[in-house]
Structure 1
Amino acid sequence: MHDDAAAGAEVAVLRLGHRPGRDERMTTHVGLTARALGADRVWIPDNAGQSRDTVADITDRFGGPFEVDLTDSPKAIIRNWEGQVVHLTMYGERVQDVEGEIRERHRDGESVLVVVGSEKVSFDVYEEADWNVGVTNQPHSEVAGLAVFLDRLFEGDELESDWEDAEQRVVPMATGKRVVPAESEEDGGAGSVGDVDPESES
């Protein structure tokens, strides 16, 4: 996590699989969720270049640090990872039962690789993982599972992150939408309405 106040060992996300023409939005949202909720980097399949470009553009405009890379060898990343490998799957152990140990080991300096599947995940991934973790053990979106896991890993501290080298920032508002230059001191007010750059919305 890039905020020094809650910094620990690296947290990375690996997207397994990408079906062109079907998974563009989901793969993009895996990357955006990883960035927004405290991960340091994401790897996505090498046939998802458009998703990579979108996540990189958001990082350029709304700040980092955050790295997004393509890979043609996702299983090699799992095999060679020096730290905990957490595979998110509805068939895994309940997140509420294992999050404490994962978090403690991370705080003690052990990096975390969070593996998020797309199509059917081969059994060797289950065997390579240190943890197979289920969020609810019910069918759900992999983006939702990633968001819940990262929030539990960081215990909400990721919501207070400071974003470096941002060009723009969103002004929190009770009503309306406003995006301003990052260096602006403008704050939102209850009921205030502002213009928003439509290109800033994912």
Structure 2
Amino acid sequence: MHEEPEVAVLRYGHRPGRDDRMTTHVGLTARALGADRVILPDNASQSRATVADITDRFGGPFEVEQTAELDATIDRWSGAVVHLTMYGERVQDVAGDIRQRHRSEPLLIVVGGEKVPFEVYDAADWNVAVTNQPHSEVAGLAVFLDRLFEGRELAQEWEDAENRVVPQASGKRVVDGDGAADES
């Protein structure tokens, strides 16, 4: 979608059974709103499969990975690290600085799933809050990506899509790769 360096989202933590839907939505939000890839914990295989399936059906490019080394992923990152947390600086105060730095460096966005250790706060270049109130990490990621890309992600086109949603005021229209429509 963008010509800037890579944007990756790291889901930090996953409790199977409890976080399955939220972890999946972190991946889907990352994909839909302009990130290049999502890195999921090694115990989030169901979420990985779902995000990969959506990417196959609705287009990419978008990568889905898993790792057992969440801390090492942050430590080895060769670029800027943003940790989304309600305890951070207000997104509206730091988005411009992050955007400026991202013009020349890859960006890793860390999205917590359970209690995040203090070391993650220390490792981040920015701890960023989308409001300083408790709410969904998926909402925080969506708002942050929109601020980062300044709305450009909303008009992105997808390559190699088996299915494409056709925007319309009422009903549902999905066109498949052959041009046939499924209308509801």
Shorter-normalised TM range: over 0.9
Q: Which amino acid aligns with 2:85?
A: T
1:59 Cα offset (Å): 0.2
Cα displacement string for residues 22-44 of structure 1 (whole angstroms, at most 9, x for unaligned residues) = 00000000000000000000000
- Unmatched tracts of structure 1, length 5 or more: 187-192, 196-202
Task: State the distance in 2 between where 1:129 and 1:28 align.
Answer: 23
Task: State the distance in 1 between where 2:84 and 2:47 align.
Answer: 21
Residue in 1 aligned with 2:8? Answer: 12
Residue in 2 aligned with 1:160? Answer: 155
Residue in 2 aligned with 1:134? Answer: 129
- Which TM-score applies when normalising by structure 2? 0.97
Task: Give the alignment partner of residue 179 of structure 2, picking from 176, 184, 190.
Answer: 184
Secondary structure of 1:57's match? helix
Secondary structure of 2:183's match? coil
Alignment partner of 1:29 is 2:31: no
Residue in 1 aligned with 2:120? Answer: 125
Alignment partner of 1:173 is 2:168: yes
Task: State the distance in 1 between where 2:46 and 2:16 align.
Answer: 10
Task: State the distance in 2 between where 1:74 and 1:183 align.
Answer: 41
Secondary structure of 1:127's match? helix
Cα displacement string for residues 67-94 of structure 1 (whole angstroms, at most 9, x for unaligned residues) = 0011100110100001110000000000
Q: Which amino acid aligns with 2:133?
A: Q
Q: Which amino acid aligns with 1:145?
A: G
- Which TM-score applies when normalising by structure 1? 0.88
Alignment partner of 1:104 is 2:100: yes
1:178 Cα offset (Å): 1.3
Task: State the distance in 2 between where 1:185 and 1:64 align.
Answer: 20
Task: State the distance in 2 between where 1:184 and 1:151 align.
Answer: 30
Q: Which amino acid aligns with 1:177?
A: K
Q: Which has the higher strand share?
A: 2
Correspondence 1:2-81 to 2 at 5 A: 3=1, 6-81=2-77
Q: Which runs of 4+ in 1 moved over 3 A?
A: none
Percent sequence identity over matched residues? 72
Secondary structure of 2:43's match? coil
Q: Which amino acid aligns with 1:179?
A: V
Task: State the distance in 1 between where 2:5 and 2:61 align.
Answer: 15
1:104 Cα offset (Å): 0.9
